Amino acid sequence: MEQRKGRLAPIGTLIAERTIEIDAAFDPITRGGFTQVPNFILTDDTLSLGAKVAYAMFLHYAWNKDSCFPGQDRLADAMGMSKSRVNEFIKELERVGLIEIRRRGQGKTNIYRIKFVVKEKKKRRNS
């Protein structure tokens, strides 16, 4: 850490000086950001591919927050699927306890609370 007059510089000063930069000025992919998906979601063979993508989309919308409220039309457009299909994946995520849905009333978007529930895989018995 940088020192000033025998003392450590405040973190705010270091951040303001931008000591770390991402060279993405001309790269539209990295400029658009990334969404990290927990490995237990990616490797869960009980979740459908659509549910995994829906979970990733919830993480995308809720980045740095504990909830999000994208409309199902927005999710459907982003995922390239019909609203009814996206709704099936949302119900799947709710059923297995990965999201909690709080309905706000007619005409308003739901609030989706994302849960990180790591479940131990059950060992398969040899038959």
Whether this model's pTM surpasses 0.85 = no
**Domains of the chain and any CATH numbers:** 35-114 (1.10.10.10)
Per residue in 10-45, pLDDT (tens digit) is 656 655 655 555 565 666 666 667 788 999 899 999
Read off the amino acid at residue 106. Q
1 — pLDDT class (breaks 50, 70, 90)? very low
Gap between the Cα atoms of 90 and 48, Å rounded? 11
Gap between the Cα atoms of 114 and 79, Å rounded? 18
Per residue in 69-107, pLDDT (tens digit) is 788 888 999 999 999 999 999 999 999 999 998 888 888
